Amino acid sequence: MAVLADLSESAIDVGIVEGSNFRSRFSKDDWQAQSSAPLKHANSTEDAAHLLFTSGSTGTPKGVVIKHSNVIPFIEWAVGYFGMDASDRITGHPPLHFDLSTFDIYGAQAAGAELHLVPASLSLIPHKLAELIQSSELTQWFSVPSTMTYMAKFDALAYGNFRSLKRVLWRGEVLPTPILIHWMQRLPHAQFTNLYGPTEATIASSYYTLRECPNNDTDPIPIGSACPGEELLVLDSELQWVPPGEIGDLYIAGVGLSPGYWRDDEKTRAAFLDDPRSGVSAPRIYKTGDLARIGDDGLVYFLGRADTQIKSRGYRIELGEVESALSTLACLRECAVVGVETGGFEGWTICCAYAPVERSDVNTAELKEQLRESLPAYMLPSRWLLLDELPKNANGKTDRRALRELFAEIPQA
């Protein structure tokens, strides 16, 4: 990592904090002498800006190296695209170890805007979050979808409130279409943008701003088009382009790609591949592990994780489709679908963990019956787990690995 200056021990031990007062052991002349000393290292844009560790949903967290040159292009584009300026009041909602915070902090600085840090204690208190938006007159909200889902399910949004809010952005998970409709109907004055991108590609690699509120709870929301300097590639197992409409593996190329994982060349080589195309300026592509398709409209649609496509009772099933159908049920506050391998003919068992709005309103038989209206019988979950709240990882996203472990520990009836 880059070092700004070589400070001696005496330079580090400059003072003590007593309440709100800071008493320095250095005089003004001492400070000026220190600040004018030649630096032993001058930062360049190719230096590492920070390390961000993945949430570890598939195993041990990996340290992702992010350079200044990865962050700068997105910040410059986003400030211009969203029209951010010194009049903005922007949320700082994600924790600092989550790459969404990079945009909040440096986007606010680049625009000269106010950054309003959201206390972690408020993350799961929907009405307190609503009060914060209202009282601080925030103009931009950026969070993971689970936070927006909580606010919708607990009816924390009223029609036409948050009049100062100009932009609502989300990233990190799929935002269920019914939740998006809930927000858009109540805040018709705001602009809604879906951002997509893994940590390895720096903040976001694609965007989609909705022109109007969806008409149907089941309408898919695209991840859209690549941000400037980025590319989204939907490829097959031979790294060849998949025709529009067909499902393929999603890869990313461009300025946002991390140089790799900290001190882990093997994992870096497995995820960051040589670009199969000839004559391209960026020689690498990143395998996201996501499935996608290109629609007739030319936009890219996220279809779930490659490792969530399972085979159960002879059928290939995308668990994201099951979860999307569940998310349309008004009686559920949150839900998640995972697969647990059982062996034999069944192969994998479809498992659903859910937290209802009111416990007395829900039973498994009713949920299955409602799902039959939108899913064939072979896609219905066979195991159900009622929870007060779904487990979350450090970034506030549903912890699917923890759910799989829960189901694995519970004996099958």
- Nearest Cα neighbor of 334 from 318, 323, 350, 347 is 323
| CATH code for position 347 | 3.30.300.30
Shared-domain flag, residues 326 and 264: no
DSSP codes joined into one string, 19-84: TTEEEESS-HHHHHHHHTSPPS----TTSEEEEEE---TTSS--EEEEEHHHHHHHHHHHHHHTT-
Q: What is the pLDDT of residue 6?
A: 29
Read off the pLDDT of residues 172-206 as tens digits, 9 standing for 90 and up.
888 999 999 999 999 999 999 999 999 999 999 99
Tell me the whole-structure pTM to 2 decimals. 0.77
183 shares its domain with 326: no
d(CA 378, CA 185): 34
Say how far apart CA 23 and CA 30 lie, in whole Å.
14
Number of domains in the chain: 3
Residue 107 and residue 59 in contact, taking contact as beta carbons nearer than 8 Å: no
Same domain assignment for residues 279 and 392:
no
- Same domain? For 100 and 228 the reply is yes
Look at residues 306, 332, 349 and tell me which one is the last residue of a structural domain. Answer: 306
Higher-pLDDT residue of 93 and 315 is 93
- Domain-ending residue, one of 306, 337, 362: 306
Residue 135 pLDDT greater than 60, yes or no? yes
Q: Does residue 121 sit in the same domain as residue 231?
A: yes
Boundary residue ending a domain (285, 306, 327): 306
Q: What is the pLDDT of residues 326-359, one digit of tens each?
A: 888 888 888 999 988 776 556 788 999 999 887 6
Q: What is the mean pLDDT of residues 216-222?
A: 90
- CATH code for position 274: 3.40.50.12780
For residues 64 and 127, membership in a common domain is answered with yes
Same domain for 196 and 167? yes
Domain that holds residue 333: 313-409
> Are residues 368 and 252 part of one domain?
no
Answer yes or no: do 236 and 142 share one domain: yes
pLDDT for residue 329: 87
The Cα 112–Cα 174 span in angstroms is: 31
* 256 shares its domain with 131: yes
pLDDT tens digits, 96-123: 888 889 999 999 999 999 999 998 888 7
- Same domain? 242 vs 274: yes
- Identify whether residues 28 and 120 lie together within a single domain: no
Tokens representing 211 are 């022109």
